[in-house]
Amino acid sequence: MPTERQPSGTTRVLFWAITLALPFVFLVLLESGLRIAGYGNAYPLFVELDEVGGFKIPNPEVAKRYFGNAPVVPTISQDSFRSPRPDSSFRLIVQGGSTAAGFPYYYEASFGDVVEDLLLTAYPESNTQVITTAMSAVNSYTLLDLADEIIAEEPDAILIYAGHNEFYGAMGVGSSQSFGSSISAKRLYLKLRSYRLVQLLQNSLARISAPNATEVAQKGTLMARMVGNQSIPIDSELYHAGISQFESNMDALLATYRQRDIPVFISTIFSNERDHHPFIGEPTADQRNKWQREQSDAADAVATGDTSRATQILVNALTIDSLAADPHFALAKLYLSAGDTSSARRHFLIARDKDQLRFRAPEEINNVIVDLASKHDATLVDVATAARAASSYGITGNDLLTEHLHPNLEGYRLIGRTFFESIVDSQLLGEEKVDADEIRLTNYASELDSLLGEFRIIQITASWPFQPIGKSTRPIDDLVPQNALEDLTKRVFKNETDRVTALNELLVAYQQRGQIDKAVKLLKNSAHRYQYLEPAQRATGAILAATGRPDEALSYFLLAQQLLKTPESAKMIGSIYLNAGDNEKAVEFLASAIELGDETQQAYFNLALGYYRLERWKPAAEVLDALLSRWPNHLEARRLQTAVNAQLNKA
């Protein structure tokens, strides 16, 4: 009887290898199929501009990496920049959340914009550019996730202002956009997020659990939708998880930049201590009545002028609930009214740190920032101390802030100047050409963007958590504009007009009213933000030339000509060079203007004059002949022709 043949050892190994490999092969094929079919997106941080080569911008859709198919995702600044990077440039990249992004004003108001303006003034030849990658509702997970793509753009330094979103930012410990508690697992997810299989799974789960339109409306603002756990008491497990999350991610982020020898300027952060009542600060329900009685007794004592008794009542009330913020806030207010600013400051800080709705970072976040800056040899930018020094009573409040934590225009200028001074002190750019102490800022945000910022604050404070849950209104809908600017701003706010169209309307209004300085500022801001748009550069050059600033105008015309060769820019460049006595460059650009189709008397005459000054008599005569054949009554050309012919006759 024949024996059954057993498979060899090699065959068995091959069998098991194929068996084990099949699932992986299937996954690879599925991933490839999804990519071929165009499913999903990698959402890179930067994308090349389709309109013109050689420029990139932050990807308008990059936030989808962290918010998936959410009905509304944060925007990112559209700071255009050259790619590859010019050798002569000085490039800074900003990281952070909504404050670093410039909320509620954004354009030209962010601290990055302030830093850039100051550096270009102090170092006029530095070709400085600040690129902002900050977004609302993101935290240290996002900052760390974007680091490699930021490094790829070869920054000279990184500027970081972050920490307020650690609990409720995307994947934060108290966020509605979180899953699990493992820091490593969340980091791994972000690394795998670009795979289409992962996106397919995520999107499928999102569709199953997606809120309907009514639920989204009830949640209100993005700020409200991000909150998963409203109550995070100080020293709770979740509180310490948030601090640990921030420390772990920022430690990894700073280590990454240090390994690549990229300087980092990292800032302490500040929020509204004096003028913002804690969101969730009452004692527990069983102690609430007692606290309200003590609060009433203290108010009665104040009303009768017995501040000492009122203070003692509130000091005793601190023991009602050791986790409650409201008693500390009330006591701080009383101390401040009595002139005891030191005690007031201490209790305002305690009240902020005990606010259980953790939109404002506690002091431990700043402590982590200070420690990590020292550990990784990063430059600490102490904005928190600067903000207190600039605030009434040395306690931050509405003099620098719009609500609980977002700066007003003065606050953004303060943050920007504090970063600027640290960069100057570092001497990354050498000695400043203009004394940094002499540089003064004005409001760089346009009137439109300033008012839009005010509208956004009105809207955000009309919803939870500034209002009770379920009480959400849209006050801007009911606003009756009192002037043309308010009408224009309301149309932009309600998406009835886009911002660029509105800015053009504003520009026309400025010019009609003779407000040339405002028109110049608006055009310069637009030209800077849209470096890749030739019309923006040319229009800015034109208004600067018309207002007697040819040196400034020249740089805009030159950039316009690099983007697209036009007879208008070529003629203006040539004319500016001619007036400056640079005749070689003048004839180069004026000749180009005519070749490109300029048919004006001025172009021909200026070209002939340039040739005359260079003693190039023959081409001067030829240009003058062409000019006079078309415009025989041009008297200046006749006189110049006589002078040229005299020189030709001598020869």
pLDDT, tens only, 172-197: 999 887 777 899 989 988 888 877 76
The string of pLDDT tens digits covering residues 347-379 is 999 999 999 999 999 999 999 999 999 999 999
In terms of CATH, what superfamily is 46-274+360-445? SGNH hydrolase (3.40.50.1110)
pLDDT score of 213 more than 70: no
Burial 165-187 (b: 16+ CB within 10 A, else e): bbbbbbbbbbbebbeeeebeebb
Contact between 424 and 432 under an 8 Å Cβ cutoff? The reply is yes
Q: pTM for this structure?
A: 0.90
Place of tokens 């802030």: 401
Give the DSSP per-residue string, 594-610: HHTT---HHHHHHHHHH
Mean pLDDT (the chain, rounded): 90
Query: What architecture is the 533-651 domain classified under in CATH?
Result: Alpha Horseshoe (1.25)
Other C-beta atoms lying within 10 Å of the C-beta of residue 564:
13
| Contact by Cβ (8 Å): 529, 77 | no
Render 354-390 in DSSP notation, one character per residue.
Answer: H-SSTTSPPHHHHHHHHHHHHHTTPEEE-HHHHHHHT
Lowest mean pLDDT: which of 41-45, 93-97, 334-338, 562-566?
41-45
**Residue extent(s) of CATH 3.40.50.1110 domains in the chain:** 46-274+360-445
Residue 54 to residues 50, 84, 529, 556: CA-CA distances in angstroms? 10, 7, 15, 17
pLDDT digits (tens, 9 = 90+) for 553-580: 999 999 999 999 999 999 999 999 999 9
Query: CA dist 543 to 228, 304, 350, 505, 554, Å?
Result: 51, 64, 53, 16, 11
Task: Return the pLDDT at 258.
Answer: 98
**Residue 124: predicted pLDDT:** 85
User: What type of residue is 639?
Assistant: R
pLDDT of residue 201: 65
State residue 521 phi and psi, 5-degree precision: -60, -45
Answer whether 243's CB lies under 8 Å from 365's CB: yes
How many CA atoms are closer than 13 Å to the CA of 232, on its beta-carbon side? 26
Structure confidence at residue 205 (pLDDT): 55
Share of the chain above pLDDT 90, in %: 74
Tokens of 344: 């007031």
SS3 90: strand
**Coil vs helix vs strand at 496:** coil
Give burial (CB, 10 Å; 0-12/13-18/19+) of 398: middle
Give kind and range of the element (H or E) at residue 131: strand 128-132
For 431-464, letters b (16+ CB in 10 Å) and e give ebeeebeebebebbbbbbbbbbbbbbbebbebbb
Once rounded to an integer, what is the mean pLDDT over residues 612-641?
96
pLDDT at 442 over 60: no
The three-class DSSP label of residue 381 is strand
User: Which residue carries 């996730």 as its tokens?
Assistant: 145
- Residue closest to 312 by CA, chosen among 334, 282, 345, 329: 334
Average pLDDT for residues 423-450, to the nearest whole number? 79
Rounded distance, CA 382 to CA 386, Å?
7
Minimal CA–CA distance to 75: which of 57, 93, 91? 57
Residue 120 has pLDDT above 50, yes or no: yes
CA distance 363 to 101: 22
117: tokens are: 């303006």
In order of 55, 81, 279, the CA distances from 86 in angstroms are 11, 10, 48
282: Cα separation from own chain's centroid: 35
Token representation of residue 494: 């309600």
Structure tokens at 391: 């605030």
542 band by pLDDT with thresholds 50, 70 and 90: very high
Short-list 458, 381, 439, CA closest to 415: 381
pLDDT of 436 above 90: no
Q: Where in the chain is the domain with CATH 1.25.40.10?
A: 285-353, 533-651
Q: Report long-range pairs for 456-464 (Cβ below 8 Å, ≥24 apart).
A: 456/103, 456/104, 456/493, 457/104, 457/402, 457/403, 457/406, 459/221, 460/104, 460/221, 460/223, 460/403, 461/403, 463/220, 463/221, 463/223, 463/224, 464/220, 464/224
Distance CA 172, CA 163 (A): 11
Mean of pLDDT values over 303-327: 96
Question: Can you tell me whether residue 372 is helix, strand or coil?
Answer: helix
- Give tens-digit pLDDT for 214-253: 444 445 677 777 887 889 999 999 999 999 999 999 999 9
The reported pLDDT for the residue numbered 217 is 45
In the numeric block, the tokens 């998963």 are attached to 228
Angle at 450 between CA 159 and CA 218, to 5 degrees: 90
Share of the chain above pLDDT 70, in %: 89
Write down how long the chain is.
Answer: 651
- pLDDT at residue 74, as a whole number: 92
56-95 confidence digits (pLDDT tens) = 999 999 999 998 777 788 999 989 999 999 888 999 999 9
Can you tell me the distance from the alpha carbon of 561 to that of 252, in angstroms, rounded to the nearest whole number? Answer: 44
> By C-alpha distance, which of 416, 350, 463, 374 is closest to 112?
416
Give Cα separations from 450 to 29, 78, 309, 456 (angstroms).
Answer: 52, 18, 45, 10
Give yes or no for a contact between 254 and 374, defined as CB atoms under 8 angstroms apart: no
Q: What gap in Å lies between CA 319 and CA 339, rounded to an integer? A: 24
Task: Return the closest-CA partner of residue 377 out of 257, 282, 540.
Answer: 257
Look at residue 370 in the predicted model and tell me its pLDDT.
98
Q: Residue 435's closest CA among 427, 424, 443, 446?
A: 424
Q: Would you say residue 546 has pLDDT above 60? A: yes
| Tens-digit pLDDT profile for residues 6-39 | 566 676 666 566 666 666 665 566 657 766 777 7
Largest distance between two CA atoms of the chain:
125
Distance CA 605, CA 614 (A): 14
Is residue 363 within 8 A of residue 273, CB to CB? The reply is: no
285-353: CATH topology is 1.25.40
